[in-house]
Structure 1
Amino acid sequence: MRTFKIALAQIYPRLGDLEANLQKHLEVIEDAVARGADLVVFPELSLTGYVLQDLTYEVAVPLDPTHPILRPLLEASMRADLVVGLVEIDERGRYYTAGLYLSQGRLIHRHRKIYLPTYGMFDEGRDMAPGDQVQAFDTRFGRFGLLICEDFWHISPPYLLWLDGAEVLILTSASPGRGLGIPGKLGSAQWVELVNQAYASLFTVFVVHVNRAGFEDGQNFWGGSTIFDPNGERILQGPYFDEALLLASIDLDQIRRTRIRLPLLRDERPALVIRELQRILNR
C-alpha cells in the first residue's frame, strides 16, 4: 500500500491521568477510523501529559502487552496503525520518554527520546534517561522513522533515519509557545515549521509533525501540526493552540518522482562523513 491516509491527533492530554487519556485516545481513534484513517499519530507523552516532574514515577508503563493501558491500544491497532507517547519504565527501573508504533495488535517499534533538553524552561534530564538508538523501521505502508521533539532539532537523528531508508519522518512533540516570529506567529512555531520544511526538502521525504495543544504549569502548547512533502511543500497545517483531528493522504511514490529530479540520497557519501567525524573526534 503506497498510498495511505494519515490522521494527526493534535490533542490536549490531562496531566498524569492515564485512564482519561487512554479513553481520549480510543475516542479519537474511533473518529479517525470512521473518517478513513490508516494511521493515527498522537503527540509526545500523549498518554501522560508533559510537565510530570514527580508524577513521572506514578504514570510510567512497562512495555507489557497485557498492561491495562497498552492492551486496549494494541487492540485498537487492529483497525489503524498508531503512534502514541508515554513514559516507559524498563526492567532496571529507568524512565524514558518513549514513542510506540503499534500495528495489527503488535508493537512494531519503540523509540526512546535521545536528547533531553535542560535549558530555559526545560528540565527533562532530571527524571528521564536518554535513549541511545536511532533506527528506521518497516511498516505495512513503507519504511518510517520516529523521533521525539528535541531529537529533531539535532540534524544527526533525521540524517541517520534518512540513510537507514526512512521514507516518512514522524516527529511528535510537546512544544510550548516561546518568542515572537513574523507578525501573527510564535517564534517557536515559525522555527519548527522551517526546520520541518528543510528536512523534507533536504532528505526528499515526508515529514509529519504532531504537536500537542493545551496548558500545563503556565505553559501554552501551540499545536500547529503539519505535513511537508518531499518537495518541501506544506500539504497540511493544523490550527494553533486548539485540539484538532487532521487527515491527509500520502502517496509514497512521490518520493521516487522527487528523487529522479533531485538525487540527493544517491549522491550522499556516508563513508566520507564517518571518516571526517572520526578525524574530528580524534583531535
Structure 2
Amino acid sequence: MDCKVVLVQNNPALGHLHHNLEQHVATVKAAIDAGADLVVFPELSLTGYFLKDQTYELGLEPDAPILAPLLQLSKRISICFGMVERSREKRLYNSHVFLEQGRVLSVHRKVHLVTYGMFDESRDFAAGERFDCVDSRLGRFGFLICEDMWHLGGTYLHFLNDVDALIVPSASPGRGADAGGQGLANVRIWQTLLGAVSLFTQTFVLYANRVGWEDGISFSGQTCAYDPFGRRVGLLEGFDPGELALTLRSAELQRARAVTPLRRDEKPWVLLGQLERITGLNARRSTDPT
C-alpha cells in the first residue's frame, strides 16, 4: 500500500458550506500538486461542528451535485472528508466520505454519538450501525470518527478485517491541563490512545483533527500519524491550520506483523461465544438503511 498521504488540519467556517467547499477544493489541488495519493480531512470538515439548528439544512447526499468538484478531483487523488449526510429516508448522519476515481467509494456513519459533557450529537444525528472497511486502489482502510475510536468494538473489527490503515477524523475540543501545565490533557490522552491502537492492531493510524473556535470552544488540532509499531511518525504542533504529509509503506506493515503475529494467533470465535453469553443476545440484524 505504498502511498503518500496528506492529513489536513482545517478550520471550517461554521455553517458556510460553499466557503468550506472552496477551501477543500484548493487544499486537494495543492495535495495533487505535491504528488499525494490521498488527502484526509477532519470530522464534519465541510460544515463545522456545533451546527445545532443548521444541521438539517446542511444535510446532503454524498453524491449531491454541489460536491461535483470533489468527485471530479477524485479522479486524480483519493479524498476523505466529513459532512452531514442526509439519507434517502431523511435521516441525518455524521459521516465521512471516501471518494476515488470519480465516485463515492465508501461512507462511514459515526456509530458512537457523543452525549456527555458539552456534546449532544444524538439530538441531531442518527447513529450508524456498521464498521465497514473500504478496499481502495491504495489499500484497505477502516474509519473511526472521533468517539468511535474510544470504543474497542470498531477497532477490533477493523483489526479482524486486516486493514492497512485506520483513518480517524476528529473534531476534538481542547480540555483540561496536563500535568505540569505544559499542555492540554485531552491531547496527551488522544496521543496515548492513538499509539496504543496502532501497536495492538499493527496498522497505520491517521488522525486528522480540526482547529479554530465555535461557540467559545477551541478545537485542539495536533493532527498526527502512527506506524504499525506504535511510533508517532508525524505531528502538526500548535493550533493553526496546516497539512501533514507522510508516506505509508507496505514493508512496515509486513515487518510488524511478522515480528509479532497477532492476527495469526487471534481467536475471535472465543470472544463471540462469550459475548453472546454475557449479553444474552445474538447479534441483532441491522436496521440501518443503505
Within a 5 Å distance, the mapping from 1:54-203 to structure 2 comes to 54-63=53-62, 65=63, 67-183=64-180, 184-203=182-201
DSSP 3-state at the match of 1:48: coil
Letter of the structure 2 residue corresponding to residue 87 of structure 1: V
Letter of the structure 2 residue corresponding to residue 120 of structure 1: G
How many Å apart are 1:136 and its aligned residue?
Answer: 1.2
Percent identity (aligned): 42
Identify unmatched segments of 5+ residues in structure 2. 282-290
Letter of the structure 2 residue corresponding to residue 18 of structure 1: L
DSSP 3-state at the match of 2:19: helix
Match of 1:16?
A: 15
- Counterpart contact for 2:111–2:129, Cα < 8 Å: yes
Structure 1 stretches of at least 4 aligned residues deviating more than 6 Å after TM superposition:
none
Structure 2 residue aligned with 1:240, among 238, 241, 265? 238
Letter of the structure 2 residue corresponding to residue 37 of structure 1: A
Q: Normalising by the residue count of structure 2, what TM-score does the alignment of the two structures yield?
A: 0.94
How many Å apart are 1:165 and its aligned residue?
Answer: 1.8
Letter of the structure 1 residue corresponding to residue 24 of structure 2: H
Letter of the structure 1 residue corresponding to residue 138 of structure 2: F
- Counterpart contact for 1:136–1:144, Cα < 8 Å: yes
How many Å apart are 1:258 and its aligned residue?
Answer: 0.9
In the aligned structure 1, how far is the partner of 2:271 from the partner of 2:87?
33
- Counterpart contact for 1:220–1:241, Cα < 8 Å: no
DSSP 3-state at the match of 2:22: helix
How many Å apart are 1:197 and its aligned residue?
Answer: 0.2
How many Å apart are 1:112 and its aligned residue?
Answer: 0.2
C-alpha distance after superposition, 1:178-227 (max 9, x if no partner): 11224422111111110000000001110000000100011100110111
CA RMSD of aligned residues (A): 1.1
In the aligned structure 1, how far is the partner of 2:176 from the partner of 2:248?
32
How many Å apart are 1:70 and its aligned residue?
Answer: 1.8
- Counterpart contact for 1:11–1:212, Cα < 8 Å: yes
Higher mean C-alpha displacement, 239-248 vs 44-53: 239-248
How many Å apart are 1:264 and its aligned residue?
Answer: 0.9
In the aligned structure 2, how far is the partner of 1:16 from the partner of 1:162?
35
In the aligned structure 2, how far is the partner of 1:129 from the partner of 1:240?
33
In the aligned structure 2, how far is the partner of 1:130 from the partner of 1:193?
26
How many Å apart are 1:253 and its aligned residue?
Answer: 2.2
In the aligned structure 2, how far is the partner of 1:236 from the partner of 1:182?
23
How many Å apart are 1:62 and its aligned residue?
Answer: 1.6
Letter of the structure 2 residue corresponding to residue 155 of structure 1: L
Match of 1:219?
A: 217
In the aligned structure 2, how far is the partner of 1:136 from the partner of 1:68?
26
How many Å apart are 1:240 and its aligned residue?
Answer: 2.5
- Counterpart contact for 2:21–2:46, Cα < 8 Å: yes
Higher mean C-alpha displacement, 258-267 vs 42-51: 258-267
How many residues were matched structurally? 280
